[in-house]
Amino acid sequence: MSYQPEELLICVIANLLESDPTVRHVAVGAASPIPGSAVLLCREETGDRPRASIIHGETNNPFTDGAREIFDCAGQGRIDVFFLGGVQIDGQANINLLGTMGEGGYPAIDRRFPGSFGSAYMYFVVPKVILFRPEHSRRVFVDEVDFISAPGVSARDVHRPGGPKFLVTELCLMSFNAERARFRLESVHPPHTVEEVRDNTGFDFDVADTVLMTPEPEADRLNVLRSRVGVEIGNTYPGFASRVFGIEPAKEAVA
Amino acid sequence: MNIFDNVEALSARVPDGAFVALPPEYSWVPASLARALIVQGTRDLHVLCVPIGGITVDMLIGAGCIGTLEAAAVSLGEAGLAPRFTEAVQSGSIRMKDSTCPAIHAGLQAAEKGVPFMPLGGLIGSDIEANRDDWRVVPDPMDSGNGPIALVSALKPDFAIFHSPKADRHGNVWIGKRRELMVMAHAAKETLVTVEKIVDEDFLADEATAAGTLGNLYVSGIAEAKNGAWPSVLHGVYEADCEEIATYAYEAKTVEGFQAFMERTLAQTRLAAAE
């Protein structure tokens, strides 16, 4: 059964959530239809887990105490998984959401992107942060970021229950080891190769003894994605649901 | 608390150089009031986005109203980068105080409590923290076992401004579950609100409405503004005008395009006000 690249990435992320029974509550930030779909897929497949909180939407949004609530909720340890990306990500998992810097560094900006959002906090307090950046290139995966929105690792005396655990890109899945402050290549998505990952990564990384080929999405999984998950994520991301799953927004019922 | 005849009377309360807190586009942004600030030629505002900005703050930047901006991020969401913000930060024409969402919430909460700063987790080792002279990292003052902790200064805006579906005649303003608007108003010296409609019922008379109401203790001025959040969303009343925002995203990429767009949109606003 043929599939879209987005569908493979959704399945890779859903596997990371399904295989870890400690994942009970996943929060998804703004403009994140692929992570959002992965959480909903996981919930369909396990029957009950995890709770999915999709902020900035009206469905699957449990927060009633204003914009600060998600951060306070995370600070208490009530959120197990969060997703972050970056304009640049380096080999120590430092992330830069701000932009590339000009001569002399910040505040001289070469190319400005929106900004750091809640990353400088969420990266510290959420136990399992999954870095998600589809574009896998040397302009994204650099040796050293121009600006640290949030650091990948911290000194031992800094209170840090959370941090990066995985990196998902259009080419591969990597894990992150905070002790070594290094990524390790775990699996490569078909039809790509380890060499291709190396050629497009600007930092040095470890390689698992056996690098797996990422499994392709099974037909029954794709069916769930293109029906129940697609309809539900379409409430928050109608454009995405239409483009990837071919699901058009429900028409208003005619009275 | 005063009820003003129109948005222009409300915007006239905001002087050049004022420190103004502004909600994000999805939380009842006062777009009409911002357009009135542009028309009256306001300069050198210090705008605090609570905690992120969109088309409204981008227009204020493009029109030259902002001297200093504090935000965790500014973008047009699905419509892409905020063009006038991007250009202003790259050219250094505004002073940018980069922040992160919970630090803005915590700074406002400090002001709410009348204390000078608030401790907050995370932040340590971020270049955001390294570039903020109004934040500190201190050793754990209570020996609680936490280790070093960041302190962020209280944020005390001169004005909180937002839009709402309705206020009552006593100046109590409906905010529903948009409780960041409550925090903004508590922290600011004055709060100015535009509403779709001023209604006769007393919101504080019924606990169900009182729970979603900002009391008039904090409100200094109200004016009616039909479609006052347009082109952004006003939940339960109207959806975002995505086409208008996409048009802006495209045209405002150049100074000339921005000016042409603004002339058109301000003319439309005048026409709507005259009806």
Which range of residues forms the domain containing residue A201?
Answer: 5-85+117-133+159-245
* Predicted ipTM of the assembly: 0.96
A113 pLDDT higher than 80: yes
Query: Does A53 reside within a domain?
Result: yes
pLDDT of residue A59: 72
Q: Pick the range with the lowest mean pLDDT from A17-26, A32-41, A246-255.
A: A246-255
Q: How many CB pairs under 8 A join A and B?
A: 136
DSSP B70-91: EESEEB-GGG-B-HHHHHHHHH
Query: Does B125 reside within a domain?
Result: no
Query: Does B135 reside within a domain?
Result: no
Q: What percent of chain B has pLDDT over 70?
A: 98
Average pLDDT, chain B: 96
Average pLDDT, chain A: 93
Query: Does A48 reside within a domain?
Result: yes
Look at chain A and report how many structural domains it folds into. 1
Query: Does B220 reside within a domain?
Result: yes
| Chain A touched by B26 (CB under 8 Å) | yes
Q: Are B234 and B226 in contact (CB under 8 A)?
A: no
Query: Does A109 reside within a domain?
Result: no
Give the CATH number, domain containing residue A72.
3.40.1080.10
| Chain A touched by B3 (CB under 8 Å) | no
Look at chain B and report how many structural domains it folds into. 1
Q: What is the pLDDT of residues A52-105, one digit of tens each?
A: 898 766 777 889 999 999 999 999 999 999 999 999 999 999 999 999 999 999
A255 pLDDT higher than 50: no
| Chain A touched by B92 (CB under 8 Å) | yes
Query: Does B149 reside within a domain?
Result: no
Query: Does A100 reside within a domain?
Result: no
Q: Which long-range contacts (CB under 8 A, 24 or more apart) does A201-206 make?
A: A201/A136, A201/A138, A201/A141, A202/A90, A202/A138, A202/A141, A202/A142, A202/A143, A203/A90, A203/A91, A203/A141, A203/A142, A203/A143, A204/A91, A205/A91, A205/A174, A206/A177, A206/A180, A206/A182
CA distance B186 to chain A (A): 14
List the beta bridge partners of residue A25: A51
pLDDT of residue A252: 45
pLDDT of residue A166: 98
Query: Does B131 reside within a domain?
Result: no
CA distance A77 to chain B (A): 12
Mutate: best of B100, B135, B140, B182, partner A, most A CBs <10 A: B100
Query: Does B219 reside within a domain?
Result: yes
Query: Does B168 reside within a domain?
Result: yes
Query: Does B117 reside within a domain?
Result: no
B157 pLDDT higher than 50: yes
Interchain CB distance below 8 Å, A115 and B98: yes
Which range of residues forms the domain containing residue B239?
Answer: 2-99+156-274
Query: Does A206 reside within a domain?
Result: yes
Query: Does A26 reside within a domain?
Result: yes
pLDDT of residue A237: 85
Query: Does A28 reside within a domain?
Result: yes
Give the CATH number, domain containing residue B171.
3.40.1080.10
